Chains A and B, each alone.
Chain A
């Protein structure tokens, strides 16, 4: 009540000054007052009320017509006042939702965190960066009792919170698998059933599962419709796509997955990725696979982790630091 009175006097004097001089200074001050009023959530009808009061005090002989017209104006402003209040309430709500999401995102980070295991003869690099706050990509490393590396990489078609929820489910079903080694094809078949049972049919998950066995130096893998990775053959200095056929998870209850095997020689490299990497865009143009490989080549003299970090930085810059999709890139480099 007191602040309103204060405003009222300032407003009246300012109005008087302006009517007498029509100077820019009073208009500037009016601008400041209106900002203060906004901060105090003063509604438009209250401002009109202040105006009418000031007018009456300055011009006691104010014509009836003007007074009535002011009442009319005040009445028409009520709805604007309500819209303003609603806007403020919604803004607060949005703020709350945002802070909830960022808590959820950091929970997800903890839930889905994976540690790169130490594997004999293998240098591992991995990076996963969400486009929005929550990540719809997933990657996971395990080392089994015989020293073999298991690596999973998955992508939910879709982004944001629904995709992230879906990924937590994948993570937990994988955790519930038995300790002893399972074939990649069996892992995908099991996950496929989980996804088929639990996830909305409009949602798809692609996944690649690979196993590297240091003793035999072989890489065994299966894919559920996942973006093909690359194999670098050091002896011939060529990259080739790691082709693997398989239905995306969750489409058909009894999908079966074929299993493939590759020999990994000294200085060979396995690159796994999600389509956030291959579908990077420069302006409206999608980049070609060739370009992804060129960037990889540029950094492949570095350690696996430095390599994936630099590739990411390259594409981040190419896209003006605005990722359109979650980006996950894994590199496995075999050394002597």
Chain B
């Protein structure tokens, strides 16, 4: 896929860069302040997971436009260790932070669409989308 904009995640500070780019794009597309903040939080969670568990990867953005709606697509891609039990990971209270609502289940709540493709030893690709209401 050819993405319009990507941020490489290698250091913790790259998370900030990804948030910034995501927020700018969201603002341009026309998201309100609350949704901008939600999108930025989702990006943080995805980028932090890449930084913590895969070491490095990429966060890419896509402007979504159909006849009747506009939105943003975010792709978190890494070639890290992958996840064994995706359904376990998606349970509330599973995250190592002790389940304070964040983590991947939080990302799913913040966004409208959510998908994970992960293969052990190969990597993980998480796709999320949010539409302007």
Across-interface contacts of B101 in A (CB, < 8 A): 79-87
Could you tell me how many residues of chain B have their Cβ less than 8 Å away from some Cβ of chain A? 18
- Give bound CA distance, A87 to B41, whole Å: 19
- Give bound CA distance, A87 to B101, whole Å: 8
Is there contact, CB below 8 Å, between A86 and B37?
no
9 smallest A-B Cβ distances: which pairs? A82-B101, A83-B101, A86-B101, A82-B106, A78-B41, A49-B34, A75-B37, A86-B92, A85-B109
Q: When A1-B133, A78-B41 are in contact, do A86 and B106 touch as well, CB less than 8 Å? A: yes
- Give bound CA distance, A89 to B110, whole Å: 14
Is there contact, CB below 8 Å, between A82 and B102?
yes
Q: Which residues of chain A in 85-108 are interfacial with respect to chain B, using CB atoms and an 8 Å cutoff?
A: 85-87, 89-90, 93
- Give bound CA distance, A105 to B33, whole Å: 50
- Give bound CA distance, A82 to B38, whole Å: 10
Q: Is A71's beta carbon under 8 Å from chain B?
A: yes
Interface residues of A (CB under 8 A from B): 1, 45-46, 49, 52, 71, 74-75, 78-87, 89-90, 93
Q: Report the minimum CB–CB distance from B91 to chain A (whole Å).
A: 10
Is there contact, CB below 8 Å, between A79 and B100?
yes
Q: Is B30's beta carbon under 8 Å from chain A?
A: no
Across-interface contacts of A81 in B (CB, < 8 A): 101
Across-interface contacts of B40 in A (CB, < 8 A): 75
- Give bound CA distance, A89 to B105, whole Å: 11
Q: Is B123's beta carbon under 8 Å from chain A?
A: no
Is there contact, CB below 8 Å, between A90 and B93?
yes
Q: Report the minimum CB–CB distance from B8 to chain A (whole Å).
A: 24
Across-interface contacts of A75 in B (CB, < 8 A): 37, 40
Q: Report the minimum CB–CB distance from B123 to chain A (whole Å).
A: 26
Interface residues of B (CB under 8 A from A): 32-34, 37-38, 40-41, 92-93, 99-102, 105-106, 109-110, 133
Is there contact, CB below 8 Å, between A49 and B100?
no
Most buried by A among B34, B41, B93: B34
Across-interface contacts of A74 in B (CB, < 8 A): 33-34, 37
Besides A83-B100, A86-B100, A86-B105, 7 more A-B contacts (Cβ < 8 Å) are A1-B133, A78-B38, A78-B41, A86-B99, A86-B106, A90-B93, A93-B92
Most buried by B among A1, A80, A85: A85
Across-interface contacts of A79 in B (CB, < 8 A): 41, 100-102, 106
Q: Which of A49, A84, A89 contacts B92 (CB 8 A)?
A: A89
Is there contact, CB below 8 Å, between B34 and A45?
yes
Most buried by B among A74, A75, A81, A82: A82
- Give bound CA distance, A83 to B110, whole Å: 12
Q: Which of A1, A45, A93 contacts B37 (CB 8 A)?
A: A45
Closest chain B residue to A45 by CB distance?
B34
Closest chain A residue to B38 by CB distance?
A78
Closest chain B residue to A83 by CB distance?
B101
Is there contact, CB below 8 Å, between A71 and B92?
no
Q: When A1-B133, A45-B37 are in contact, do A82 and B92 touch as well, CB less than 8 Å? A: no
17 CB-based A-B contacts, threshold 8 Å: A1-B133, A49-B32, A49-B33, A74-B34, A75-B37, A75-B40, A79-B100, A79-B106, A80-B101, A82-B100, A82-B101, A82-B102, A83-B100, A84-B101, A86-B92, A86-B106, A89-B92
- Give bound CA distance, A121 to B110, whole Å: 72
